[in-house]
Amino acid sequence: MNKYITASLLLLGCIAYIFLSNDTGSARVFVNLITFAGVYGLAAIGINVHFGWTGLLNFGHAAFMGIGAYTTVLLIPHSLGREGVIISTGLPLPIAIIFGLIASALLGLLLGLPTLRLRGDYLAIVTIAAAEIFRLLVRDFENLTGGVYGIIQFSDSLQVYRPNFVDVISTKYDVSSAQLWVAILTWISIVLVIIILSRLQKSPWGRALRAVREDEDAVRALGKNAVWLKLQSFMLGAAIGGLSGIFLVFNYGTVQASTFVPVLTFYIWAALILGGVGSLGGPALGAIIFWVIIAGTDSISRLLFESPDGQQLAGVRFVIVGLLIMLFMIFRPSGILGKKEELLLDVK
Amino acid sequence: MSNNILSVNSLTKSFGGLEAVNVENFQINSNEITSLIGPNGAGKTTFFDLITRFQDADSGSIFFKNKNVSKTNSYMLARLGMVRTFQLTRVFDRMTVYENMQFAGSSIKNEGFLNSLFNKTSLRKDEGNLIEKIDDTLKMLNLYEMRNAYARELSGGQKKLLELGRSLMKDPEILLLDEPLAGVNPKLADNILEIITNLNAKGINILMVEHNINAVMKISDRVVVMAEGKIISDGKPDFVRSDKKVIEAYLGSSDE
Ligand SMILES: Nc1ncnc2c1ncn2[C@@H]1O[C@H](COP(=O)(O)OP(=O)(O)OP(=O)(O)O)[C@@H](O)[C@H]1O
Ligand SMILES: [Mg+2]
C-alpha cells in the first residue's frame, strides 16, 4: 500500500478515535492533542535535520527547546514564580522569539564546536549531559529562571495578537481560545519550516549534508569542510527545537525547571521514528500519532487502575511507547513516511 | 622554482612503537604517473594519509606547488588541487550515482546556506552547467546507465569507478589513487588503466598505490618502493624490477 494512503488513513483513524472516545468535550481534547502534536512535531523536525539529514545524534533536544523558550520568555513581560516578582517591561514578542532562536542556535554552536570534530558518539554523550546541566542550572539559578517555581504571566505577549475569529471558533466549540491560538501558530510554523526545509533539502547545501551523513572523509577528500557543514546543520536543527520550545511554554502558560526534562527528548525521538526519519512530513505525522497513542494509553490506564495518578499514567505510557518503537523497528524501521532506501541505522 | 608539484621532507609517523612511515625525501615531478608499491603494512596508505593531511605527521614537512601545506586542512588541500581516493572505497551509499557526482562538482559558494536557501538563479545556472561534465565523465567510466541508481547498488568495481569519477569532478592537479585496481576484474582493470593514462596525458599528475605489478610496470613512468615505512627503491620500472632490495622485500623471485 502506498505510504501516503497509509498516512492519511492513520490520520483519519486518529481523528475519528478522538471524537468517538470522548463524546463530551471532544473538541477540547482534539485541540489539546493537536497543540502538543504540533509542538512535538516541530521539535522532531529539528532532530530530523540533525539525524535524518546529517547523521548527527542529538539526545539533548530538550536543552535547545529550553534555552529558546527561557530566552524568549525572559525578554518579554513576565513574573517570576515564587516571590511573584513582576517584570512588566520587555521586548515585543517577535523580537524576543528571534533572540530565542539565536540562543538555541548558539547553544548548538557551543556544543558542536568541540564535539563535531570527534566521532559521532561524542556528540550523543555531550548532548545528553548538556540537557541535564541545562535543567540543573535552570533549577538552581532561581533568581533568573524562577527555578522549580518557574515563570508565569508571560502569555499575554502572544495572546494580544490573537485575532477575533479564534475567539469565535473557541466559543462555538467550547475550547480554550488561548490554546487554539497556540495550536494555529504552531501548525503555521510547521508548514513554513517544512517549506523552507524542502527548499534546502533539494539544494546543494542539503545535498552536502547528506554527503556528510554518508561519509565525512570522502566529503573532505572532495574539498568540502565537513565540520562546518555539520555545525550549520546542528545550529539549524537547534533553532527549530528552540521554536518548538517557545510554543510549548506558551501552550502551558508557564515554564519551570521540570518542563524540559530528558523524557521530552525521548518522546520526540519516538515521534520521529514513528513518522519516518529523513522525510519532511514524517516528524509531524509521527507526533500526531504519538499523541493519539498517549491519549489511548491513558484510557488503558483508566481500565487498569481505578483513578490512575501521574506516575501510573507515565508508567503505562512508557511501556506502550517503548513497545511501539520496538515494533516499528522490527516491522517498519523506516517509519510511516520514511524511504526504505534511505533507512538510517548507522551513525556518524 | 623547481618543477616538482609535491615535495616531502623527513616525514614520520609512528603508531606506538611501530614506525609506519619514515620518508626522508620524496618528490613528484610534474606530469608523471608514479606508482607506490610495497608489501602489506609497508606504510603506503599511511603515507597517503599524511600527504593529504588526513592524518597528522609526527614530524616533517609537505610542500604542494611550492607552498608549505604541512598544517593545511585536508579539505583545503583538496581545494588546492590534491584529490585522493581511498583503499576501502568510499561512495555516498544512499545518494544516487548522479548525486555523488553533483556533490563533488558543486561549488563551495553554492553550498552556502543562504545561497541554497534563496536558490539564486546563478546557483541554478551553475548546477545546470555541471550536467554536461557529469554526463561526460559518467560515460567515460561506463557508469552512465547507472546514473540514477543508489551508489550502494553498484558493484565493488563500479564503486571504484564512481570514486574516481567524483575525484575528476574536482579537476585535480594531482590525483592520489589508493589501489584503484583492487577487486576489479581484468577487463575493467584495463579500462581503468587506460583512463588513468589518458588523465595523465591531459596533464593530471598521478600517484597511485597498487599491488598489481604488471599494471604498475606497464603504465608507470616511475616506481617507488616502500618497505617498513621507508623508501627502499625509486626509479624507472625496469630499474626497480631488477633492484635486488625490491626483489627481496616485495617482488620475490616469481619474476624470473
Ligand atoms: N591507526 C593505526 N593504528 C595503529 N597502527 C596502524 C594504524 N594505521 C596503520 N597502522 C600500521 O601501520 C602500518 C602501515 O599501514 P598501512 O595501512 O599504511 O600499510 P599499507 O602499505 O597501505 O598496506 P596495504 O598494502 O596492506 O594496504 C601497518 O603495520 C599498520 O598495522
Ligand atoms: Mg594500504
**pLDDT surpasses 50 at A70:** yes
Residue with cell 543562504: B114
- Comparing CB atoms, the residue among B84, B94, B163 nearest residue A341 is B94
Q: Does the CB of A347 have a partner CB in chain B at under 8 Å?
A: no
Whole-number Å distance between alpha carbons of A164 and A177: 10
CB B224 within 8 A of CB B37: yes
The reply to whether residue B86 touches residue A341, judged by beta carbons under 8 angstroms, is no
Nearest-CA distance B83 → chain A (Å) = 6
Q: Is ligand 1 within 6 A of the CB of residue B43?
A: yes
Residue B61 DSSP SS3? strand
Question: Which residue of A lies nearest to B81 if distances are taken between CA atoms?
Answer: A223
pTM, two decimals, is 0.91
Q: Give the sheet arrangement for strand A85-87, strand by strand.
A: A85-87, A78-80, A151-152
Confidence of residue A23 (pLDDT cuts 50, 70, 90): low
pLDDT at A158: 93
Q: Does the CB of B99 have a partner CB in chain A at under 8 Å?
A: yes
pLDDT at A341: 64
Shortest-distance ligand to the CA of residue B56: 1
Q: What is the pLDDT of residues A30-51, one digit of tens each?
A: 899 999 999 999 999 999 999 9
* Choice among A7-21, A256-270, A322-336, B203-217 with the minimum mean pLDDT: A7-21
CB B237 within 8 A of CB B255: no
pLDDT at B255: 44
Q: Which residues of chain B have pLDDT under 70?
A: 1-2, 252-256
CA angle, B38 as apex, B206 and B208 as ends, to 5°?
Answer: 10
Burial of A266 (0-12, 13-18, 19+ CB in 10 A): middle
Kindly give the distance from the C-alpha atom of residue B43 to the centroid of ligand 1, in angstroms, as a whole number.
5
Residue B11 DSSP SS3? strand
Write out the three cell numbers for A52. Answer: 535524518
CA angle, A270 as apex, A69 and A260 as ends, to 5°?
Answer: 25
Q: Does the CB of A217 have a partner CB in chain B at under 8 Å?
A: yes
Residue ranges per structural domain of chain B: 4-88+172-251, 92-153
Q: Residue B59: enclosing H or E segment and its boundaries?
A: strand B59-64
What CATH homologous superfamily does B4-88+172-251 map to?
Answer: P-loop containing nucleotide triphosphate hydrolases (3.40.50.300)
Nearest-CA distance B110 → chain A (Å) = 6
Q: What is the pLDDT of residues A77-101, one digit of tens each?
A: 999 877 778 888 899 999 999 999 9
Q: What is the pLDDT of residues A160-198, one digit of tens each?
A: 999 999 999 999 888 999 999 999 999 999 999 999 999
Whole-number Å distance between alpha carbons of B49 and B84: 9
CB B92 within 8 A of CB A215: yes
pLDDT at A342: 62
Contacts of B128 in chain A (CB under 8 A): none
CA angle, A215 as apex, A211 and A219 as ends, to 5°?
Answer: 60
Give the best residue of A214, A219, A233, A277 to mutate against chain B (max B CB count within 10 A). A214
Whole-number Å distance between alpha carbons of B227 and B38: 6
Q: Residue A207: enclosing H or E segment and its boundaries?
A: helix A204-214
Report ipTM for this prediction: 0.92
Q: Does the CB of A338 have a partner CB in chain B at under 8 Å?
A: no
Q: What is the pLDDT of residues B77-128, one digit of tens each?
A: 999 999 999 999 999 999 999 999 999 999 888 898 988 888 777 788 888 8
Q: Does the CB of B130 have a partner CB in chain A at under 8 Å?
A: no
Write out the three cell numbers for A48. Answer: 530530523
- Residue A254 contacts by C-beta under 8 Å, 6 or more apart in sequence? A81, A150, A151, A152
For residue B242, what is the DSSP state?
Answer: T
Kindly give the distance from the C-alpha atom of residue B49 to the centroid of ligand 1, in angstroms, as a whole number.
10
Whole-number Å distance between alpha carbons of B61 and B59: 7
Question: Which residue of A lies nearest to B84 if distances are taken between CA atoms?
Answer: A221
User: Rounded to the nearest 10 degrees, what angle do helices B121-140 and B156-168 cross at?
Assistant: 130
